[in-house]
Amino acid sequence: MQRKNESIGIIYGDVGSTEFNFTVDGHNLRKFDYVTAPHKEGYILAQVMDIKQYSDLKFQDAATLKSDEELPHIKSNVSAYADVIGYRDKRGYLQAPRTPFDAGGKIALAQEDLIRHVLGLHNDKTNGAYLGLLKGHNLPVYLNIDALVQKHICVLAKTGAGKSYVCGVLVEEFLKKKIPMVIIDTHGEYMSLTKSNTDRKDKKNMEKFGIKPQQYASQLVAYSPLGNKGNMKHLTLNGINLEAREIIDLLQAKLSGPQIGVLYQSIKEMKEYKQHYTLRDIIESVNRSKSNARWNVVASLESLDSIGVFSETSTTTSDLVKKGKCSLINMKGVPPDIQDVVVARLTKELFDDRKAGKIPPFLLIVEEAHNYCPERGLGSAVSSNILRTIASEGRKFGMGLCVVSQRPAKVDKNVISQCNTNVILKVTNPNDLKALIQSVEGLTTQTYREIQRLPIGVALISGASIQIPIMMEVRTRETNHGGKSVTVFKNGQPTDFKPKIPKAPAPAPEHKEHVAAKPETPVKKDTTTEKAKAVTRVANRLGWVDTDDPDKTMELLTVEAQKMKENVYKYLDSLAQLGKNFCYETDPKCIKCPMNEGCKYRKSQGRTKRFFKT
């Protein structure tokens, strides 16, 4: 692909197969430029990693010169050091040369077609996400969308380095391609995707990247666990038929062995009388236990219930995940412990339904990931386990994960290591840099140093369809950036502050005198267990209750059992046994029933031969 080009230097010194030094002949060569070197295998692509200028001005000579004295003629030469990237073989695989380069070989600037071919920068607008331009070149960087979603993404940077900006660019590209998304928006930054970018400087930069202002309001739906706020819908979680293991995973305080036993037993006993039960029902069932261990269990369950997000009519996963739609879970103003529970439960529901094929393949984006899947020993979160599971197993089921964090060292290493595509911006903290080198493939010692020097707006990309890490100038956003820093001091004065005053509610519509159509009463589904029906039948025939509603019957009998200081479920079981052995729906064996003398049903039917069956 590389045609004969003008030479810019010559290889010199000791030469290997993975690196070489070359002279620079008067060209404006810059660090990170791509060059080609002749080799037995053909033209090999390499990248300039360092440039030095050597002169004949010695220290002693410079020390004797005065600052106002005219400098003598100084001879200088420029030398560059390059890392070898390789070449593509006939099968299209990236290969590295296995023999050293020849000293004296002429170096040339790499042409764009060779750079694109070797690096894997396929100009695939149909299946790619356009993130920006290769640093120093006018080459668009397209990352394969299927590889991005399937094999997970991580966006890592220090505070203010532009991680949310890059993530916003990614989201814009996914919205264009109608990829379903759910975003855990910790600070409410992604609502800005509903507005076009009107910044003057950004509009000028858009010409460079070949884009125009755009907004995606029609594709975004915002939810909040705090209830309906403005244009946001109330996010509620499924609180029906929670299993003991699910509850244990959601509790901030871990239960002891006896406490776990109380929880399991209480739910097991309740299931025999209710097909559908709520968190409130579980609390009442635990309260009936005679074990002293129940008190801590009740306290933990009350704390979970007080969050207020568990509901019988929850937000469905099919509402959250739709083709071409992005659901924003706005956590702004939500306490951290509630955020943790919401992410844990919501993520599990999404993963379970994706595995069952109830919702289409989609991407889950988790902002401030260090809060939800912290590294072991640096914190704990109830959402950690499910996020680790998705990182390791989500690819098989079509659930992609994108983790975004300003503290790479605090994010679970297992999660980061499972991310095939890494977008890294400026990082300076030594612990964070060490974590990156340990978790991200393809990063070298040289890369380690460059990450600390990355300018704002430049990202290091590794993975996806790109064979080696590359430097990319992130394109301008088409929408407003919601993560801009707040100005505190400007022009020698603190900035003015104007409190946001909530708008007055809209006036109620005028009353029109007409009779509205009466809504149809929904048909109530029968969700009662056979055991509960038997207890209701026996209690009715004995004359202890006067209702046919099993739930009401359970309520009345529970009160009576507690008055007599009886175990509620043993009390109910005794009635259920009567229904099973004697008190049938038809042809009851009243004569053999131990309760026949006080049975109102038997007395009301009279002492006929039918009631003295043997």
> DSSP string covering 473-541, please?
EEPPPSB--TTPPPP-EETTEEPP--PPPPPPPPPPPPP---PPPPPPPPPPP--B-HHHHHHHHHHHH
Rounded distance between C-alpha atoms, residue 368 and residue 297, angstroms: 31
- Nearest Cα residue to 295 out of 337, 336, 253, 240: 253
| Tokens 């995707």 found at | 193
Dihedral sign computed on CA atoms, order 181, 438, 35, 92 = negative
Strands across the sheet containing 421-424: 140-144, 128-134, 466-474, 458-463, 421-424, 153-156, 399-405, 362-366, 181-185, 326-330, 220-224, 233-234
* C-alpha radius of gyration, the chain, whole number: 35
Whether residue 235 is predicted with pLDDT greater than 60 in this model: the reply is yes
Contact call for residues 612 and 591 (beta carbons, < 8 A) = yes
Residues whose CB is less than 8 angstroms from the CB of residue 513 and which lie 6 or more positions away in sequence, other chains included: none
Cα separation of 600 and 609, whole Å? Answer: 17
Please state, in angstroms and rounded to a whole number, the distance separating the CA atoms of residues 117 and 351.
37
The band of 499, judged by pLDDT with boundaries at 50, 70 and 90, is low
Specify the DSSP element, H or E, that contains 119: helix 112-119
Least confident of 74-88, 114-128, 315-329: 114-128
Of 81, 89, 177, 101, which is closest to residue 400 (Cα–Cα)? 177
Residue 306 clears pLDDT 90, i.e. is over it: no
Is it the case that residue 397 has pLDDT exceeding 70? yes
Q: With 80 as the cut, is the pLDDT of residue 27 above it?
A: no
pLDDT the model gives residue 376: 84
Instruction: Write the pLDDT tens digit of every residue in 87-102.
Output: 988 888 889 999 999 9
Contact 553, 545 (CB under 8 A): yes
Helix or strand holding residue 132 (H, E): strand 128-134
Percent of the chain with pLDDT over 90: 35
Going 260 to 265 to 271 to 277, the CA torsion angle's sign is negative
Q: Are residues 63 and 25 in contact, defined by beta-carbon separation less than 8 angstroms?
A: no
Query: What is the per-residue pLDDT for 355?
Result: 94
Mean pLDDT of 189-208: 90
Tell whether the model's pLDDT for residue 520 goes beyond 70: no
Judge whether 423 and 461 are in contact, CB under 8 Å. yes
Q: Quick one: tokens of 280?
A: 């409130």
Q: Please give the Cα distance from 342 to 181 (Å, whole number).
A: 17
The label of the residue with tokens 């203010």 reads: 160
Phi, psi (degrees; rounded to nearest 5) at 235: -85, 120
The candidate with the shortest Cα–Cα distance to 395, out of 361, 427, 426, 429, is 361
**pLDDT greater than 90 at residue 536:** no
The confidence band for 514, taking pLDDT boundaries of 50, 70 and 90, is very low
Q: What is the pLDDT of residue 612?
A: 45
Q: What is the dotted CATH code of the domain comprising 128-235+318-494?
A: 3.40.50.300
Whether the pTM exceeds 0.85: the reply is no
Among the listed residues 417, 449, 414, the one whose alpha carbon sits nearest the alpha carbon of residue 433: 449
Is the fold of 128-235+318-494 the same as that of 530-612?
A: no
Going by CATH, does the domain composed of 530-612 fall within 3.40.50? Answer: no
Question: Mind listing the pLDDT tens digit for each residue in 356-378?
Answer: 999 999 999 999 999 999 988 88
Q: Which residue has the higher pLDDT, 103 or 75?
A: 103
Where are the domains positioned within the chain?
A: 7-118, 128-235+318-494, 244-305, 530-612
How far apart, in whole angstroms, are the C-alpha atoms of residue 374 and residue 357? 29
- pLDDT on residue 611: 47
Is-contact 479 192, C-beta < 8 A?
Answer: yes
Which stretch, 161-165, 466-470, 505-509, has highest mean pLDDT?
161-165
If residue 261 lies in a helix (H) or strand (E), which one and from where to where?
Answer: helix 257-271
Task: Give the strand pairing for 220-224 and 233-234.
Answer: parallel
Q: How confident is the model at residue 11 (pLDDT cuts 50, 70, 90)?
A: very high
Amino acid at 536: T
444, 93 Cβ separation under 8 angstroms: no
pLDDT at 498: 57
Residue 579 predicted with pLDDT over 50: yes
CA 223 to chain centre: 15
Q: What is the pLDDT of residues 125-148, one digit of tens each?
A: 888 899 999 988 888 999 989 888
Q: Tokens at residue 102, please?
A: 């020849």
pLDDT in the model for residue 110: 92
Main-chain phi, psi angles of 39, to 5 degrees: -155, 165
Question: What pLDDT, on a 0 to 100 scale, did the predictor assign at position 593?
Answer: 84
Phi/psi of residue 377, nearest 5 degrees? 90, -10
